[in-house]
Amino acid sequence: MILNYLLKPWITKNVPNINILNLTLNSKNIKNNSLFFSINGYLEKGSKYIQESINNGSIAIIIETENIYEHGKIINNKIPIIFFYKLKIFISEISGRFYNNPSNKLNLIGITGTNGKTTVSYISSQLINLINKYNKSAIIGTLGNGIIPNLIETKNTTDSPIDLQETLYKFYKNNIDTVFLEVSSHSILQNRIKNLKFKYTVFTNISHEHLDFHKNMFSYKKSKYKLFNEYKVINSIINVDNKFGKKISNKIKCTSVSLFKKIYIKCRSIYVNIKKIKFIKYKSYLEIIINNIKYNILLNFIGYFNVNNFIISLVTLIELGYKVNDIIKVSSLINLPPGRMEIIKFNKIDIIIDYAHTPDAIINILLTIRKICIGKIWCIFGCGGNKDKLKRPIMGKLAYKYSDYVILTSDNTKNENINDIINDIIKYINYKNNINIIIDREKAIKFSICNSNKYDIILILGKGHEKFQIIGNDLFNFSDKEIVLKLINKL
């Protein structure tokens, strides 16, 4: 696309006729005919990377300015540098224009919430791909981007605005019809999704998380609400079993989802009523009444929170126009995402790997496992460094209360002292019996496997699907699942 055409809605004078083939925010990721966006981050100015982008071959640069009078100013050296007022706010729109606004041509569903985003998107996409052999569904989120299971790994839950638009463009070109996008609170406030056209928005729940960024729950909730207040959609699907979800439902047009109340999907004139939920070992048996017809559903996972995620997915697909019978037929074929209650069996011991890294997620999984465990529960976890410190003692207290044995270990400590993290976790625990501190995560996992007994359940929490561990500024290969498989093969 020609640069002066790309920027025409914002800058009309003196923009050169340069053919742009790529957009980037990363000065190290310069391809042929790249336009580099130099924006100011939270810790440093983007202008320090301009020379690097030029050295790497960028053919034009847009630099962010906070001075409105500099907007449209162009420094014409060999490489034009164009000043753009409050650039961060407009990158989604500029990149949308570059990629011909692909979200307008897709069924784009935005899913937000503290927990459950990945599971709802994963379940929903699986259901569509099992039902529909022609118009495939894809996901964008924590696990990566693409059609399950062939996902391309990403660094963030929600990509940069440029990467999002490019990914959606590729999906559209590859005849993908429906996309489930995990929307983080950070991405909402940082305008990463600003120019996206959602058909539906979904709310799973909200609980204590990210207070290092948001400072308090009020600000955190406010950021989530923006997805439902500022984006025009066909409808929203809201989990009203969560208190904040109930508040959202009272303010907007939506379908309210609950495990305990009748659900009315107005656009399809369909009533859904969950009559019975029963857990037997690691399966859930549901009895659901839909428009006076009884359906029995078998799910390959347990937990009220996971059943809730399934019902949100069910309602979302009905909203999208899928037939109830088609959805029910394939429901027994779906699985949870990797690293979400992923079970490995060894000598009548169950080892469960899960991504739970918030107080709400920890209590949900512990209460669920308590219902089926006839032995002892082992809980292995740590907390990430340079992140929300207020949740640490809450997680520690919950793990101590609902587990028989707790092993505190390292997570992604980053640049924080591991001993400080551990001290935060045990802050509110008066009696430390049944708590072991084993900093080396592999040794912590080995200790639990070697010391557990028949019918015990070992929970390894916090990292889930992740294949790395961050200590200091270094990233090491580390997978809880691979470590477990390695250890049990040796024992």
Question: How much of the chain is in helix, strand and coil states, percent to nearest 5?
Answer: 35, 25, 40
Interhelix angle 391-402/359-372, rounded to 10 degrees, is 10
Are residues 201 and 229 in contact, defined by beta-carbon separation less than 8 angstroms? no
Supply 215's token pair.
């400072």
What are the beta bridge partners of residue 448? none
Which residues of the chain are modeled with pLDDT < 50? 42-43
Domains and CATH numbers, the chain: 3-95 (3.40.1390.10), 102-333 (3.40.1190.10), 342-490 (3.90.190.20)
Q: Which residues contact 222 (CB under 8 A, 6 or more apart)?
A: none
pLDDT score of 466: 95
Which bin fits 169, alpha (ψ -120 to 50), beta or left (φ > 0)? alpha
383-398 pLDDT, tens digit per residue, is 999 989 999 999 999 9
Provide the total of helices (H) and of strands (E) in the chain, helices listed first.
Answer: 16, 25
Are residues 383 and 391 in contact, defined by beta-carbon separation less than 8 angstroms? yes
Supply 168's token pair.
């959606």
pLDDT score of 212: 86
Cα–Cα distance measured from residue 138 to residue 304, given in angstroms and rounded to the nearest whole number: 26
CB neighbour burial string for 305-328, b if at least 16 within 10 angstroms, e if fewer: bbbbbbbbbbbbbbbbebebeebb
* pTM for this predicted structure: 0.94
Cα→Cα distances 73→82, 170, 382, 465, Å: 6, 33, 50, 46
pLDDT score of 369: 97
